[in-house]
Structure formats: structure tokens, C-alpha cells
Amino acid sequence: MAALSDSQRQDLMAELSGLRRFCHSLTGNAADADDLLQATVERILQKGMPADAHTAKWTYRVCKNVWIDELRAREVRQRYPATETEEETALSADTVAESELEVAAVSTAMAALPEEQRLALTLVTIDGKTYAEAAEILDVPVGTIMSRIARARKQLLQLLHPAQPE
Amino acid sequence: MNDKDFELLSQYLDGELDELSTRRVAQRLGSERELRETFAHMTAVDQSIRQVYSASEQVPAHIAAMLESATAAPPRRTTQWAFAAAASVAAAAGLMLTLQWQQPESAGPTVAEVLEITPSMASGWQPLADGRQIRPVLSFRDVDGAWCREYLVEDHGKGTRGVACRDQGKWETRIAVAAVIPGANDAFRPAGAGDSDAVADYTASRADGIALSASEEAKIIASDWQK
């Protein structure tokens, strides 16, 4: 096992919260997000990290790769269908508050995005990466990130604010 | 709206346009209603996404423990996105308003300028021209029919919670008291449910109904607070 240095472990620890959020947006539910996070950390601990690697970029890239592997394993080509959690199914329609409906609507809309768009949007909107950083993590040109994010936002607006835009 | 304009707005929201393009978009936002409405909805959707997923950053202890053997550093709350996004929106807000109101020397927005166009946020800050930071937390209509917004201002760790109401196009502070800045662990509690009882009391006594939802607020902002 290629051991991580202390500073690499510390850097990785600092990324965990953001990474957990990233995992959730990729998987669409909390249980899968924890599994993905754990698999990501395990892979980094097993394979190590180059001494000159940027920890955040390296980690997100590993996470993305683990997720893509998982998707392939599930034979899902385009996107991961939204999975209802037990809590969600347990709620009856008249006990769901407006904010919960909004959360559900946002989650469903995010889950409906093509995987490549959701990855790009998540990195930039949720994790605050620049287009250049997202491009590096996803290994595509910056212009591709730009157009993926715009297409993702357009689809989200159509789903969440149907009057906008055509 | 064509795809090209939509891409421009998207890049503008992310702070990814060069200075000239940013100014052009800001100028158009000041004069084109459809563009402004789409931008308000786009901003609101971004806020919703962040709110949904920011609650999911809790790292299970057994995963953190995998890394803890060699370090004592606790996981920290990642607020980078909030600052990055706030900075980009605030930069946009500053530019848009300076163009509209002919104040080209302003380096950033004022409290009033942020309250005018920025959706309420559960976390994150928008930098102000004077170096402080502001977070609009909710919007409501008061019993006299004026639109009001509760906000938090952070100044070197010191907090102020206040309510400003819009009167004839100007935002006027109605109440402002010292407040504890919600920390990493309670940043998502409902606004007014904290230490600033005076502000909470003010809002409760003056609000005509409940606070606006994110989508209602986006519509009001897009209409320049005219509805």
C-alpha cells in the first residue's frame, strides 16, 4: 500500500465534507453517497497520491472515476435514475411541507440531468470550483464545461420554473 | 432566449466572463427584462441546489476515521463555494447597479444594492464595497404593503442583524441590532430563530403573512419589487 503523507491525509480530511456533498449530488441519495465516499477514500488509501498532486483535484477525479466505474457496473449508460429513500416514501402527500417538495423537486431535476452535465454543474455550483478546475478534474476542455453547465441550468429551469425559458 | 444568451448568463453567474463581457451582460441586464428574469430564476435555482446538497456534507465517522490515524485535524466545513459564488454574484450586482445608477467609481455593492437584486441565502456572504459582507436571509411584505428584507452583516467577525424596507425605490433600515453570526453548525437554522430577538419580534409583528418562498422572491426581484 502506498501510504499517504501526513499532510496529504490532512488535506484529504479537509476535503471530506465537500466530497460528501459531491457524492450526494452524483448518487442522488445519502446511502449511496456514503458508499461512494468510502470507496473513494479506500481507493486513495490503497493507491496513494503522487507527492506533487493537488489533493482536491486528485480526490474529486478519483471520486468521479469510482462513480463512473460504479455506473458501468450497474450497466447504466446515460444517467442514474432517482432512488426514493425510505423516508421519502414514508411521507404522505399532505404532510410534505413546501420546502420538502422543493427539495424533492430539485433532487429529481438534478437526477434527470445527463451524468456529464450533473458532474460539471455539481463541481462549479455546489463545490465552488472554477471552470478551469472542473475541466481539469473531468479531463475535458474549459469550453465543454461552460456548455455543459449552461445546458444543465437550462434543463433545470425548464423543470423547476416551467415558464422560463422556452 | 437563445442558447448563446443563456450561456452568457450562466458564465456571468459563475464569474467566468472577462471584464468587457461582464460589463456588456451587466448593461443588458439593466435594460432587458427577459434577460433579468431568466437571471433571477437561474440564481434561485442555484441557491436551491446549494441548499439541498449543503445539508449532505456530514461525513460518516467511520470514513473520517479511515484518515484519522495520522492526523488530528477535524473535518472542516467547506465554505469555499459559498464565497466563490457570493463573490461572483456580488461582482455582478456591483457592475449591474453601477451601470444603472452611474456610480462607476464604486468597487462593490452597497447594502441597498445587494438587497435590491440578490435572492435570500441560507449560507454564504456577498462582499460589500466597504469590506463588510452581507447575507439577505428572507423577504416579506409588511403590514403597510412595503417589501422588507431581513439580513445579516458581518464585519470582522461581528454580526448585525437587521430589517430594511423598500420605500419609493430606496431601502431604509428599520431595525438593526448586534447579532451572533450563525456558526458552521447552525448556519441553516431559520432566520430570526437565533439571538436577535428584537429583529425576530420586529419581523413577527410587522410581517403581513409568512416570508416569501425562493420562487416567489425570485419573481418579485425580477419585477423590481413592483408586484
Q: Is residue B72 part of a domain?
A: no
Predicted confidence at residue B191, as pLDDT, reads 44
Residue A27 sits in a domain of what CATH number?
1.20.140.160
Provide the whole-model pTM: 0.53
The string of pLDDT tens digits covering residues B133-176 is 889 988 999 988 999 999 988 888 788 888 999 988 888 888 88
The string of pLDDT tens digits covering residues A125-146 is 988 889 999 998 888 999 999 9
Mean pLDDT for the stretch of residues A49-78: 80
Predicted confidence at residue B183, as pLDDT, reads 59
Predicted confidence at residue B222, as pLDDT, reads 85
Q: Sorting pLDDT into bands at 50, 70 and 90, what band is A68?
A: confident
Backbone angles phi, psi at A5, to 5 degrees: -75, 165
Q: Is residue A1 part of a domain?
A: no
SS3 B104: coil
The total domain count for chain B is 1
> Quick check: A92 pLDDT over 80?
no
Q: Is residue A43 part of a domain?
A: yes
Q: Which residues on chain B are in Cβ contact (under 8 Å) with A121?
A: 49
- All residues at 6 or more sequence positions from B41 whose CB lies less than 8 Å from its CB, including other chains: A157, A161, A164, B218, B222
Backbone region of residue B145 per phi and psi (left: phi > 0; alpha: psi in -120 to 50; beta: other values)? left
Q: Is residue A166 part of a domain?
A: no
The CA distance from A22 to A121, in Å, is 10
Q: Is residue B204 part of a domain?
A: yes
Q: Which domain holds residue B45?
A: 3-54+78-222
Mean pLDDT for the stretch of residues A15-24: 88
Interface test with B, best of A125, A130, A145 (most B CBs within 10 A): A125
ipTM of this complex prediction, to 2 decimal places: 0.73
Q: Is residue B110 part of a domain?
A: yes
State how far residue A76 is from chain B, nearest Cα, in angstroms.
23
The closest of A164, A152, A137 to A64, measured between CA atoms, is A137
Stretches where chain B sits below pLDDT 50 are 70-106, 184-195
> Quick check: A81 pLDDT over 60?
no
> Quick check: A103 pLDDT over 70?
yes
The total domain count for chain A is 1
- CA distance between the termini of chain B: 24
Q: Is residue B144 part of a domain?
A: yes
The CA distance from A109 to A162, in Å, is 12
